[in-house]
Amino acid sequence: MTSTAPRYDRWKAPSEDGQTLIWPAAPQLLADTQDNHRRLSSAQSTLLQNVPLPEVRTRMRLWLGHEDDQALLFATGHQAELHHPGVWVKNVLIDAAANKAGGRAVHFAVDTDEPKHLQLRWPGGSVPLTDDPRPKAAWSGLLPAPSPAHLDEVAKAFDAAARSWPFRPLVPEFLGSLRRLSLELPTLPSALTNAIHALDWNLGLRHHAMLVSPICLSEPYLVFVHHVLARADAFAADYNAALDEFRTENKIRTPGRPMPNLKCGADGCEVPFWLDDLTSGSRSRAAVVREQGAFVLRLPGGERFRFDPHADGWEAAGELMLFFRRHGVRLSPRALTLTAVLRLLAADQFVHGIGGGLYDQVLDKLITRHFGLEAPRFSVTTATLYFPLAVGQPRVCLPCVVQEGHSLKHAILGKEKQLLVEAIAAAPRRSRERSTLFYTMHDKLADAHSRPELRRWEQRFNHAQARVQEEKALFDRELFYALQPADRLTSMIDRYREAFAAG
């Protein structure tokens, strides 16, 4: 199959309940996956720290438990949080695609990012999922699993709210699993990821779920890390050039969008990783300094690791692993770096949401520039499932009501207003006559506000404003997908499977 440059669509989340976005269409997505597999498996000339890329891929896939290197691996990832339906369908897609292709599907739960979306929300209420007393954690893996007592309180609050709903949400089943797992698993991401996975399993999905943090001490990942840090100046130049090209193409003038450039100077370079202190639970943006012709990672205590671009990749990765373990630190990937690792070293097809698909257009440029490799093609999916009580409900058009009032106000005076406007325009600028006419017109408009038709409009406007506030919760796309009843979720699963069955 001849490779061509990827063409990106202007993806937009569907506004209608039950609608999906799958890009590219299922047959093309499967063809792209086969092509990615062939090209990545044969890219012997692409070296990561002097090791051919296919060798690093094989080792990473074995580390992930993917023993049949010929079987296609479909992957997606997201922060360890309460996923909304538009995120959840990424798991639905990899399940459907892997089932069609006879491959394997893996969800990577990112427990190395700052925690967010850990509030269980529903129209009219919310409750925090965690009872950790700290106001903030540097990454979600630091948060302990919620206590059973706290989860009992969460369940009581939710049950009280859901008692009047004419459908049965899946949140109680999810909370039940999370309560059991919180006694066995020490961290919130591990318990949360397994509880969500159990919910998906009961819905008929068969993907695997893995945390990202253990990958950060795997040898294949550390080969990648060593490669980047040993060539920090060249990597930063290619990274920044890819960002600049993306900004130019998309007419973006803000320097920090979609992400900041890497800072690089004569003394050292920033690298796209977090330096995590696993003992103190603190992190900083990682950087290397130049010392005697090589880049060096310096820890706050003064310890140093020197990156040799000529070193054998596996030996270098082993030494780096020992250094990290000895000093209780790690280098966690920032967003673009993580998808680079997963797309180059693990997956044959990586599935993004709309935001990730936008950012990875930058990564495509970076892969081509730095590794001299046509980037493997990714895919994008999302869907809309509103809160069930919103389905079939008409939505108020506040701009329509505002325009109605504007038209009504200016129609009340009829021709008299038009004559006043014309007289104002004809009067000399800054004259007393012009000023008098102006205030006369607005006095007449103010008097007209007391008329019954305008009072009725004001009542409609106030009602519309109140309704808009209610609809913000009712039509919120980002509510936890387990607020849905099982039949609405299985219907969405069937929709994806039908798309791939026909492919």
pLDDT of residue 1: 36
- Provide the 8-state DSSP code for 374: P
DSSP one-letter string for 76-88: EEEESS---HHHH
Residue type, 162: A
Can you list the pairs that 366-369 forms with residues at least 24 positions away whose Cβ atoms lie under 8 Å? Answer: 366/238, 366/239, 366/242, 366/336, 366/340, 367/340, 367/343, 369/238, 369/241, 369/242
The mean pLDDT value of the chain amounts to 93
446/499: higher pLDDT = 499
pLDDT in tens, 234-251: 999 999 999 999 999 999
Mean pLDDT of the 355-365 span = 96
Mean pLDDT of the 92-116 span = 97
Judged against a pLDDT cut of 60, whether residue 4 lies above it is answered with no
Contacts of 440 (CB under 8 A, 6+ apart): 420
Mean pLDDT of the 439-449 span = 76
C-alpha–C-alpha distance, residues 152 and 155, integer Å: 5
Domain boundary assignment for the chain: 398-476
pLDDT of residue 503: 60
User: b/e map of 22-50 (b: 16 or more CB within 10 Å)?
Assistant: bbbebeebbebbebbbebbeebeebbbbb
Q: Which helix (H) or strand (E) holds 156?
A: helix 148-162
**Percent of the chain predicted with pLDDT > 90:** 79
Judged against a pLDDT cut of 70, whether residue 106 lies above it is answered with yes
Q: Where are the alpha helices (DSSP H) in 332-397?
A: 335-341, 354-371
Judged against a pLDDT cut of 90, whether residue 449 lies above it is answered with no
Mean pLDDT of the 254-260 span = 92
Q: Per DSSP, which regions of 36-82 are E strands?
A: 47-48, 51-52, 73-79
pLDDT in tens, 169-181: 999 999 999 999 9
Mean pLDDT of the 87-106 span = 98
pLDDT of residue 375: 97
pLDDT of residue 418: 76
87/393: higher pLDDT = 87
79 forms beta bridges with 110
- Provide the 8-state DSSP code for 194: H
Cβ atoms 155, 191 nearer than 8 A: no
CB atoms inside a 10 Å sphere around CB 300 = 12
Judged against a pLDDT cut of 70, whether residue 3 lies above it is answered with no
Cβ atoms 216, 341 nearer than 8 A: no
Mean pLDDT of the 133-152 span = 92
pLDDT in tens, 35-94: 999 999 999 999 999 999 999 999 999 999 999 889 999 999 999 999 999 999 999 999
Distance, CA of 245 to chain centre: 22
DSSP one-letter string for 219-253: HHHHHHHHHHHHTHHHHHHHHHHHHHHHHHHTT--
C-alpha–C-alpha distance, residues 76 and 123, integer Å: 29
**CB burial of residue 126 (10 Å; 0-12, 13-18, 19+):** middle
Judged against a pLDDT cut of 70, whether residue 189 lies above it is answered with yes
pLDDT in tens, 125-141: 999 999 988 768 999 99
Helices (H) and strands (E) in the chain, counts: 16, 15
Query: Please, which pLDDT band fits residue 462 given cuts at 50, 70 and 90?
Result: confident
pLDDT of residue 135: 65
- Provide the 8-state DSSP code for 386: -
Judged against a pLDDT cut of 80, whether residue 34 lies above it is answered with yes
Nearest alpha-carbon partner for 346 in 54, 121, 128 = 54
Nearest alpha-carbon partner for 296 in 281, 282, 286 = 286
Residue written as token pair 């490799």: 373
pLDDT of residue 257: 92
Judged against a pLDDT cut of 60, whether residue 2 lies above it is answered with no
pLDDT of residue 129: 95
pLDDT in tens, 199-242: 999 999 999 999 999 999 999 999 999 999 999 999 999 999 99
Nearest alpha-carbon partner for 156 in 134, 133, 179 = 179
